[in-house]
Amino acid sequence: MKIGILGSGMVGQNLGAALARAGHDIVLGTRTPDDLDRERGRSAKSLRAWLDQAGTHARVATFAEAATHGDVVVNATSGAGALEALRLAGEDSLRGKVVIDTSNPLDFSRGMPPTLSVCNNDSLGERIQRAFPSARVVKTLNTTNTLVMTDPARLAGGEHTMFLCGNDADARRSVANYLNEWFGWSDIIDLGDITNARGMEMVLPLWIRLMGVLGTPMFNFRIVR
């Protein structure tokens, strides 16, 4: 499958490499595709090292090229950069496509722990859908560490939960299938329309604190019922 990944940080690199190694045709979009040697933020390698890891099904390009390439586009930018990256991708290249939004509106400007730059009566997922009304935005994967995103089985045999939401029911079903086929997610809860991105993003303060208390990002929520 042709997949465009927007964002060259840890999340974009990990998602892109996992999908490329599984045989998908990946273009990783970044603002600076010619700068292959710079390390890309916390815990992220250079794109040259990433290309070595991701293999022959992966290449690096601009946001616009990545979005145009993808039959599905994944927003894996930081929350602060999400809308700008999508603008650089361009609405025409997103039109009618499933856009998987994994980002969180974390605001580190007042130090740690971060607050959310939007919450409670709006969300980043909704802002993205409003800014790109012709895209079929599905929020998911934002409530786990990226290593759990792409390999849920590494934690408790995969016995934990992934949420998703979005306005287009067909897009939600498609993404649920992708999460299962790409990564093996089995307990996927469809929350409904994109306003449910509020709840999905608002778990981040608890998530971040749990990471500190547990001393690891390798955990996830399971909805026991």
- Please say which residue, 35 or 151, places its beta carbon nearer to its own copies: 151
Burial class (CB within 10 angstroms; exposed 0-12, middle 13-18, buried 19+) of 42: exposed
* 206 binds its own copies per the rule CB under 8 A: yes
Region near its own copies per CB under 8 A, out of 43-51, 72-80, 95-103, 203-211: 203-211
Region near its own copies per CB under 8 A, out of 44-52, 74-82, 84-92, 212-220: 212-220
Q: Answer yes or no: are the C-beta atoms of 106 and 146 closer than 8 Å.
A: no
User: Buried b / exposed e across 164-175, counting CB within 10 Å, b at 16+?
Assistant: bbbbbeebbebb
* 139 binds its own copies per the rule CB under 8 A: no
Helices (H), 60-168: 63-69, 82-89, 91-94, 124-131, 146-149
* 56 binds its own copies per the rule CB under 8 A: no
Q: Least separation, in Å, of the C-beta of 38 and its own copies?
A: 33
Q: Least separation, in Å, of the C-beta of 196 and its own copies?
A: 5
Q: Which residue, 16, 8, 69, is CA-closest to 40?
A: 8
Contact set with its own copies (CB under 8 A): 115-116, 119-121, 155-156, 159-160, 163, 189-192, 196, 198-200, 202-203, 205-210, 213-214, 216, 218-225
